[in-house]
Structure 1
Amino acid sequence: MILFDFIVNIAIFSLLVSTPLVIRSFIHQKPIKYFSLWASLYAGVVSVILVILSIKQQGYAYDIRYAPVILVFAYFGPIPGVITGLFSLLTRLVSGGNWAPAIIGWLINMMILCVVHKIMSHSSQFRKIGSLFMAYVAGYLVTILSFHILLTEPLFHLQYVLFVMLGVILGGLLIESNDRLLRINRQNKYMEATLEKSESKYKLIANHTSDLIIVMDQNHTVSYFSPSHELVLGYEHHELKGNLLWMLVHPKDLEIFHQTISTMIGGQEGYSLEVRLKHKDGHWKEFESRCQPVKGSHYVIVISRDISDRKKAEEILLQSEKLSIVGELAAGIAHEIRNPLTTIKGFLQVYKEGNYSRKHNELLLSELERIEAITSEFLSLAKPQLTQLTVTDLLELVDYTTEILSPEALLKNIEFQISYEATHFPITGEKNQLKQMLLNIIKNAMESMPDGGEIQICLRKEGECHGVIAIQDHGCGIPEELLPKLGEPFYSLKEKGTGLGLMICKKIIKQHEGDITYSSKMNEGTLVEIRLPLLQA
């Protein structure tokens, strides 16, 4: 019979604790004002019901009215806990006798619970509940020992304490589990709201961007087309849905596009390429596509931007630059040829008057040779070069060039100081062009030293990929502000120079995928460094 009463008490207590928790989970509103006060009043009502359901034995009634009191202390603090305790005390006094032990025991328990709550205020809820329950047990023992209540019945007191403990445990588990479910529910709703907001933001971008966005799988089937396809290519969504990409990509671009996608599937690195896509009306448009694999999946996102207008603008700009260069060259040639023609015209007038000499013939031939040299350099620059690429060595080229120029250097009292940091500098190139380039640059160095001196030529490696030819003269030098103009047509520091020689050198170096740099100081000399890619083993 007592076991049945235990079960009934625990079941009703669990129901009373669960009811407001369940109701709260269905109510979506702001926190209730004075919530802790209302909770203490409700807990007080629960304690009243538990006193009414108390179990009678040997003239004493025992119940689990202190279970809601302990829980209110743990979750809402001392003041709500004392209010709930008052409800339980008043009901206990009304329902039975023995007021003295009931009142004194209540006062002892309230003081102990208040002290323990203050000590454990920063602890977790479960630890706080456990500490409050142990404090209650201590107060209970003080009360029964002080008033000699059933000291000969220890089993009765053990049952009573275990009864209250069971109520506290069940109540705490119900509250904590409900709170945890509420927290998880709130987190899920927050994540859903955040995800929905983020999704709407990205959908807004995808729906209103002019870039084409597609998602492809490993079979190169498109699972998503952005609405911008209709604006840019003229296709409606239902026309693209389920279509393979080969229906849009130009046949000549399709193979490299498929290779790019296949390479990226399951990888991490993205690629950029240019493709032509078919407009609904049949013409092709050029796009720059950025392909990026989705990490941890077999999908690739392709974002394509229409560059047709940009390509047209680049063509117009290139044509404009070509016309500008042609105009500049034409003006330069006209200027350079006009000077010797003026001289020739003057001497012809002298001939007409009969006043001529052998010396005049030599001057005329000199001016004609000058015109021929200008036209030859211009043709060398303009005509396409028939290159025959062979494997050669920069060291051999430098030796060959300096050997050819040695007699002229000897006459001008110039000495070559040559140093090599390695014995092998293999490159792939056109020997004659490279020889012409080295001859022009070393001759320029020699011409900058009319009083003779040394020209240092150093051949070294820069990393494993490039060879560097450094040519240092000790001539008059070049002003720093004029260095960027070197290599421009018809810009020369020589009295009768055209600038085309250095321009041809620059062109040859560029054709061999190299570069040339200059550094100079006035009256100290000029350093020219030529970098060319070495042949890899």
Structure 2
Amino acid sequence: MQWRRKPSGTQVSASNCIAAALVFTLGLWTMHVVLLLASDFMMDIQWTLAINFAITTFLVFLSLRYYHSGRLPVRLAEVISALLMVGGVACLHYFSILSHSINRLEFNIPLVAVSFLLGFAGCYAAFVLMRRPAQWRYAAASFVAGLGSLTMHTVGMFALTVEYRHVMTLDRLNQFLMLLAFILCILVLLIITFSYTTWLGMKKYTQIDERYKLLVENSTDTIAIIVEGKWEYLNPSGLRLFEAEHEDELVGHCIFKLLHGGKHLEMQTWLQQTPDGREFALRPIELQWQTLRGNPILTEMVRIRATYDGKQVEQVMIRDISERKRNEQLYVNAEKLSIAGQLAAGVAHEIRNPLTSLKGFMQLLATGRIQDQQYLPLMRSELSRIESTVTELLMLSKPQALELRRNNLRELLSECTAAVGAQAKAQRVRIQHRFDPAPAWVLGVAVQLKQAFINVMKNAVEAMPDGGLLLIELKRGNSDTHLVTVADNGSGMPEEQLAKLGQPFYSTKDKGTGLGLLVTYKIIDNHDGKIAIDSVLGGGTTLRFTLPAISQPDDSDS
């Protein structure tokens, strides 16, 4: 596929130029032989014929390459190409006639000059016709080039007077004609074979080129080539993205002109990095640009390093994500409002109920009907409930300043088990321990870790009102983690309830606030740990804590 802007001439491969040069030279040679047979000039087949044929083919090839290179101005390319081609025609004509043993040679200089001018005029006119948009341009150019060459040969024969040393006999002429016919047949077969294979290759190339054009030019994403920090190519989507009317407004210009100033260093570093496999090549980067009209756009870009025209280039794909980012921000804001509404409703519910109870008790006390202090414990309980809710909310709402210390998980879990032991015994829940014998050291805040473990242990005990087994397991997860498992054989939970665990004020218990598990998640996350929950309806619930392990402390640390 042509990534660059096409020059004024049509790009043609070297193989096509070679095939065209061979066909043109063969036609010239055939015409030259026919003219020699119709004249008094001597015709002979010898080794100089091959050299003459090769030189003519090379000059014609050079003329075609200059014409199609696109590196020169149009008129200059046409003049140089015409001079090279007429030089090849003259080489075939004059060298063939003058390559034999000659006694006397006379030149008519004016006629020689006229023959050159006629040949040049025909070749130049052919190259000019090649740039015409008409469909008949190829046939017209071929006819004009052939007519110019024929005129040059004919006039050139009148410009020469040659007396040869040897006389061509009829038998020798017949032998030469047979050999000439054989050589012509071989050359024609070779040229037909070469032309056919070239045609097949060009047909395949054209199909591939059209396929890539369909993919690239019809892509909704921007596909571009960057060379040395400048745009080398942009597909139509890229022109629309940057609001450019013509590719000249972008191609050849520095990419940093449209890149946001704060992204220049990031972009330079990204382009200078060497891709390490396909994963790096496809890793996206978000960049902010501005269009040619000054409108800001947010994009996601990936790149693949490639080689084009012998140079290292960056092939990039740019996708406009401005609308997606706006939708994401709207979604985040909506989620924040939804969570804020749920939180406000939950706080109002959890605090309003005990406040209503306190208000009723205070009204009773104000009437003087109650003389003793029988309701004071209930009032203290409601106040403690409010205080607990506020404390948990404060822990969730602001970051905690953690003073991390080395702690032995075996000791922490033993203390937590003792804390819930009385409640477990009252509900006929048996607690079973499975601890690795080696100490399990972690870095954290002991009070918070104990709070997290006690929360889940209490939930497990309350999930077994008719008794059951609570399993507390501690083992080494891998070389750098400890695994704590808390499992019960209670009623379990369905998947829809399991998906809601950890949401504010969502609880499966009648008197639960739903903040306990949320606080547990927060604590474990602050300690760089993870929580996984599995539950089977009717088969119990299992919580697995993964915490980073540290080495055993020295005596001085302990």
* Structure 1 and Structure 2 fold alike (TM over 0.5): yes
1:272 has 2:284 as partner: yes
Cα distance in 2 for partners of 1:318, 1:484 equals 20
Q: Match for residue 412 of structure 2?
A: 400
Write the deviation string for residues 420-468 of structure 1: whole angstroms up to 9, x where unpaired.
Answer: 5695767666665444322322232234345666532223455556543
Q: Match for residue 333 of structure 1?
A: 347
Q: Match for residue 541 of structure 2?
A: 526
Cα distance in 1 for partners of 2:389, 2:284 equals 45
The code of the aligned residue for 2:255 comes to L
Aligned CA distance change for structure 1 residues 242 and 532 (closer, same or farther; 3 Å): farther
**1:276-291 correspondence to structure 2 within 5 Å:** 276-282=288-294, 284-291=296-303
Superposition deviation, residue 325 in structure 1: 0.7
1:459 to 474, 497, 504: 474
Cα distance in 2 for partners of 1:234, 1:535 equals 57
Write the deviation string for residues 77-113 of structure 1: whole angstroms up to 9, x where unpaired.
Answer: xxxxxxxxxxxxxxxxxxxxxxxxxxxxxxxxxxxxx
Contact 1:264–1:292 (8 Å) recurs in 2: no
Contact 1:278–1:285 (8 Å) recurs in 2: yes
Contact 1:265–1:300 (8 Å) recurs in 2: no
**1:257-268 correspondence to structure 2 within 5 Å:** 257-264=267-274, 268=278
Aligned CA distance change for structure 1 residues 400 and 464 (closer, same or farther; 3 Å): closer
Aligned CA distance change for structure 1 residues 407 and 212 (closer, same or farther; 3 Å): closer
Aligned CA distance change for structure 1 residues 267 and 299 (closer, same or farther; 3 Å): farther
Root-mean-square deviation (CA, aligned residues, Å) is 3.8
Q: What is the percentage of aligned positions where both structures have the same residue?
A: 32
Write the deviation string for residues 134-180 of structure 1: whole angstroms up to 9, x where unpaired.
Answer: xxxxxxxxxxxxxxxxxxxxxxxxxxxxxxxx999989966864553
Q: Match for residue 156 of structure 2?
A: none
Aligned CA distance change for structure 1 residues 479 and 239 (closer, same or farther; 3 Å): closer
**1:221-240 correspondence to structure 2 within 5 Å:** 221-235=230-244, 237-240=247-250
Superposition deviation, residue 310 in structure 1: 1.5
- Three-state SS of the structure 1 residue aligned to 2:485 is strand
Superposition deviation, residue 256 in structure 1: 2.6
Contact 2:420–2:454 (8 Å) recurs in 1: no
Q: Match for residue 293 of structure 1?
A: 305
Superposition deviation, residue 226 in structure 1: 3.4
Cα distance in 2 for partners of 1:428, 1:314 equals 37
**1:18-33 correspondence to structure 2 within 5 Å:** none
Q: Match for residue 201 of structure 2?
A: 188
Contact 1:469–1:531 (8 Å) recurs in 2: yes
2:365 to 351, 370, 376: 351
Write the deviation string for residues 176-211 of structure 1: whole angstroms up to 9, x where unpaired.
Answer: 6455324313322312432442354245326xx3x3
Cα distance in 2 for partners of 1:266, 1:487 equals 40
Q: Match for residue 105 of structure 2?
A: none
Cα distance in 2 for partners of 1:248, 1:420 equals 62
Aligned CA distance change for structure 1 residues 458 and 171 (closer, same or farther; 3 Å): farther
1:494 to 502, 509, 534: 509
Write the deviation string for residues 345-377 of structure 1: whole angstroms up to 9, x where unpaired.
Answer: 222232233221311122122112212222222
Contact 1:412–1:451 (8 Å) recurs in 2: no
Q: Match for residue 364 of structure 1?
A: 379
Cα distance in 1 for partners of 2:195, 2:509 equals 88
Aligned CA distance change for structure 1 residues 220 and 460 (closer, same or farther; 3 Å): farther
Contact 1:267–1:295 (8 Å) recurs in 2: no
Superposition deviation, residue 299 in structure 1: 1.9
Q: Match for residue 98 of structure 1?
A: none
Contact 1:265–1:299 (8 Å) recurs in 2: no
Aligned CA distance change for structure 1 residues 358 and 524 (closer, same or farther; 3 Å): farther
The code of the aligned residue for 2:367 comes to E
**1:106-505 correspondence to structure 2 within 5 Å:** 177=190, 180-202=193-215, 204-205=217-218, 209=220, 211-217=221-227, 219-235=228-244, 237-264=247-274, 268=278, 269-270=280-281, 271-282=283-294, 284-294=296-306, 298-356=312-370, 357-387=372-402, 390=404, 392=406, 396-409=408-421, 412-413=424-425, 416-420=431-435, 423=438, 432-449=447-464, 454-462=469-477, 467-505=482-520
Q: Match for residue 38 of structure 1?
A: none
Cα distance in 2 for partners of 1:287, 1:430 equals 43
Q: Which runs of 5+ in 2 are unaligned?
A: 1-22, 28-178, 552-558
Larger-gyration structure (1/2): 1
Report the number of matched residues: 369
- Three-state SS of the structure 1 residue aligned to 2:483 is strand
Write the deviation string for residues 391-421 of structure 1: whole angstroms up to 9, x where unpaired.
Answer: 856xx23532432441541574366544356
